[in-house]
Structure 1
Amino acid sequence: MNLEALKEKPIFQMTGEEFLFLQRNIDKEPQEAKETLSDNVSKKYVYGIRGIAKLIGGSISSANRLKKSGVIDEAIIQNGRKIIVDSELALELIKNSK
């Protein structure tokens, strides 16, 4: 059986034999693809000024000062009033700035 063709086939159209074959062989995928997916999922984000404040364990005014200082600009994605911060990158930038 062709593994790629079975991945494209809807489950409700599979026979029991095809489904079991797919389950047994899905774990034999290359490890690199699984690692890439886990890297993307492992990112942690905080949202807004309150999220930054919780991240640094400080007040909202301290978070505002930190954001305006430009130290964590690489970790910030902002669209209008929406602020998303990659927490791991922000902490690394704060650590390296001092």
Structure 2
Amino acid sequence: MNLEAIKEKPIFQMTGEEFLFLQRTIEKTPSSSSEDTPTLSKKYVYGIRGIAKLMDCSISSANRLKKSGVIDKAIIQNGRKIIVDAEKALNLIKQNSI
């Protein structure tokens, strides 16, 4: 089968065999776009409830943890808004418990 000819053909005109061939061919070839862009996604949690959910503890325990200063390097706070870098907070807690 000619891959370029199949790529040009609209899907509704493809036979089942052509569609499956195209799907298998696409799965085998590595996508270059995903390799070019580095993954910079960070996970953030917001507020005391976010800390409580991240640590799987109560809100009062999350409040004590925040006030203790253990995760201060992971917290960005502006007024009442609290943003916590989840990965950094977990690493800080792990370092502090040793």
TM-score, reference length from structure 2: 0.62
1:53 aligned residue: 52
TM superposition shift of 1:55 = 0.4
Amino acid at match of 2:53: K
| Distance in structure 2 (CA, Å) of the matches to 1:61 and 1:80 | 19
Runs of 4+ in structure 1 off by over 3 angstroms are: none
Larger-Rg structure: 2
Structure 2, gaps ≥5 residues long: 1-31
Amino acid at match of 1:57: D
1:16 aligned residue: none
Q: After superposition, where does 1:1-98 map in structure 2 within 5 Å? A: 31=36, 34-35=37-38, 38-39=39-40, 42-98=41-97
TM-score, reference length from structure 1: 0.62
Cα deviations by residue, 1:17-67 (Å, 9 ceiling, x for unpaired):
xxxxxxxxxx58x93xx21xx22xx20000000000000000000000000
| Distance in structure 1 (CA, Å) of the matches to 2:62 and 2:51 | 6
Amino acid at match of 2:92: L
Larger helix percent: 1
Structure 1, gaps ≥5 residues long: 1-26
| Equivalent residues, number | 65
Give RMSD over aligned pairs. Answer: 1.6
TM superposition shift of 1:97 = 0.3
